[in-house]
């Protein structure tokens, strides 16, 4: 039975969310007030599409940093699995692990139960991407409901982000426009 799902929308302030990183540190997931932040929620290390996304993010990290965008990846993977994922991909940005049902609900992601064809033992999130402005407002969000969805192209994401920043400088009223700020 389908039910109405609340989602996080562009223009909203990103909700309070604290996660544990693979380094053991706790991080409040938000922009730092200076840079934008790209939050990539991935299904888990078992997912080949997520592994490809990690490689794309690693490759695109210099471009993202040049454009003032910090990156974090989040999943329900347990610590040992998440640490291996970071090591396997030589990731040089924070990765949060062991997200629980309440944290996934805060993110409003689609959640799946483990199946008999993967080694995952706990629930996991389907993919989602959030781009936060420096003020912690959501600029862009994409939710996926399957393994192969919500996989934006980093170059296109940057092109759109930079276009909107340029337009807001040229036309201050454009900066007040929030696209996709409500759902029906």
Per-position DSSP letters for 144-157, written without gaps between them: -SSTTSS---HHHH
Parse the chain into domains and list their residue ranges: 18-151
Domain 18-151 has CATH 3.60.150.10: no
Angle at 141 between CA 163 and CA 117, to 5 degrees: 135
> In sequence order, what are the residues at sequence separation of 6 or more whose Cβ sits closer than 8 angstroms to the Cβ of residue 36?
67, 68, 69, 70, 131, 132, 133, 134, 139, 161
Distance, in Å, from the CA atom of 77 to the CA atom of 176, rounded to the nearest integer, reads 38
Q: Are 73 and 43 in contact (CB under 8 A)?
A: no
pLDDT beyond 70 at 183: no
The pLDDT, as a whole number, for residue 4 is 45
pLDDT at 114: 83
Phi, psi dihedrals of residue 71, rounded to the nearest 5° = -125, 145
| Interior angle at CA 47, CA 96 and CA 62, nearest 5 | 55
pTM: 0.90
Confidence category of residue 5, pLDDT binned at 50, 70, 90: low
E strands, 75-117, where?
A: 95-97, 111-112
Q: Please answer whether residues 54 and 92 qualify as being in contact, where contact means their C-beta atoms are separated by less than 8 angstroms.
A: no
Percent of the chain with pLDDT over 70: 89
Which tokens hold the place of 3?
């039910």
More confident residue, 183 or 28: 28
The per-residue pLDDT for 2 is 44
For residue 173, what are its two tokens?
């009223």
Burial class, 47, CB count within 10 angstroms (exposed 0-12 / middle 13-18 / buried 19+):
buried
* More confident position, 4 or 166: 166
Query: Residues 132-152: what's their mean pLDDT?
Result: 88
At 7-42, the pLDDT tens digits run 898 889 999 999 999 999 999 999 999 999 999 999
122 CB neighbour count, 10 Å cutoff: 14
Q: Measuring CA to CA, which residue among 139, 181, 122 is closest to residue 35?
A: 139
Residue 92 has pLDDT above 50, yes or no: yes
Specify the pLDDT at position 121: 77
Average pLDDT value for the chain: 89
């Amino acid at each position: 039975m389908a039910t109405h799902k609340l989602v996080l929308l562009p223009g909203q302030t990103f909700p309070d969310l604290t996660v544990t990183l693979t380094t053991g540190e706790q991080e409040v997931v938000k922009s730092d007030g200076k840079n934008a932040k790209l939050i990539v929620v991935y299904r888990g290390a078992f997912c080949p599409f997520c592994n490809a996304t990690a490689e794309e993010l690693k490759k695109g990290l210099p471009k993202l940093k040049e454009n003032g965008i910090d990156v974090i990846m989040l999943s329900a993977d347990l610590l040992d699995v998440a640490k291996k994922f970071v090591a396997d991909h030589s990731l040089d940005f924070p990765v949060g692990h062991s997200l629980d049902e309440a944290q996934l609900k805060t993110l409003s992601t689609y959640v799946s139960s483990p199946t008999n064809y993967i080694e995952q033992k706990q629930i996991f999130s389907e993919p989602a991407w959030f781009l936060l402005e420096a003020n912690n407002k959501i600029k862009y969000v994409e939710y996926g409901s399957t393994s192969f969805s919500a996989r934006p192209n980093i170059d296109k994401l940057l092109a759109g982000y930079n276009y909107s920043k340029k337009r807001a400088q040229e036309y201050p009223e454009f900066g007040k426009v929030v696209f996709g700020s409500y759902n029906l």
